[in-house]
């Protein structure tokens, strides 16, 4: 399934649902359009208005270089995504096998979770015993009593 994300008027980004690089693609797109807008030369609204002030200059790449740099970053991200997709193992057996495997993994996760809970309860019980023994030892030292 594919989604069409509206970035700006007339500009859309097609994203596959479940795409691991959605955030990267969106960030690149927003950064690209934001930078292009920020560094765009000013436009005169009307002949009746004075000339707009020039854009402030900074150490960032020039306006002419920005599209090239950003398109290179976008192409690189797309190639990395394609390489990741190509490295995925092929889907075996279709949806029914995948659902069965998911159920098995959930059951295994539940069993491991129960075992961890038992270990946690045992550790808490042991901690309570150690704290009680420490408290008794501290009381005995403070009261200068011999241990029982």
Q: What is the pLDDT of residues 97-146, one digit of tens each?
A: 888 888 999 999 999 999 999 999 999 999 999 999 999 888 888 887 56
Q: Find tokens 């005995």 and name the residue.
A: 140
Percent residues over pLDDT 90 in the chain: 22
**How high is the pLDDT of residue 52?**
66
Domain that holds residue 70: 2-88
Say whether both 71 and 131 belong to one domain: no
Say whether both 114 and 59 belong to one domain: no
- Average model confidence (pLDDT) across the chain: 76
CA of 14: how far to CAs of 58, 85, 98, in Å? Answer: 33, 17, 26
Q: Find tokens 């740099």 and name the residue.
A: 69
How many domains is the chain partitioned into structurally? Answer: 2
Residue from 28, 20, 19, 27 nearest 1 by CA: 19
pTM of the predicted protein model: 0.36
CA of 69: how far to CAs of 11, 59, 78, 95, 134, in Å? Answer: 20, 15, 14, 41, 65
Residue from 83, 59, 63, 73 nearest 27 by CA: 73
Residue 148 CA to residue 138 CA, distance in Å, equals: 14
Say whether both 84 and 27 belong to one domain: yes
**How high is the pLDDT of residue 56?**
59
Say whether both 77 and 120 belong to one domain: no
């Amino acid at each position: 399934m594919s989604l069409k994300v509206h970035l700006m008027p007339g500009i859309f980004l097609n994203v596959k649902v479940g795409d691991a690089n959605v955030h990267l693609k969106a960030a690149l797109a927003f950064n690209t359009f934001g930078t292009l807008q920020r560094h765009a030369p000013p436009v005169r609204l009307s002949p009746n208005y004075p000339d707009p002030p020039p854009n402030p200059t900074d150490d960032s790449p020039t306006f002419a270089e920005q599209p090239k740099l950003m398109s290179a970053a976008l192409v690189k991200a797309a190639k990395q995504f394609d390489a990741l997709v190509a490295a995925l193992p092929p889907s075996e057996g279709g949806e029914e096998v995948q659902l069965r495997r998911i159920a098995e993994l959930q059951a295994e996760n539940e069993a491991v979770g129960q075992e961890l809970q038992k270990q946690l309860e045992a550790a808490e019980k042991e901690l309570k015993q150690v704290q009680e023994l420490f408290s008794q030892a501290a009381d005995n030292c403070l009261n200068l009593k011999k241990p029982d």
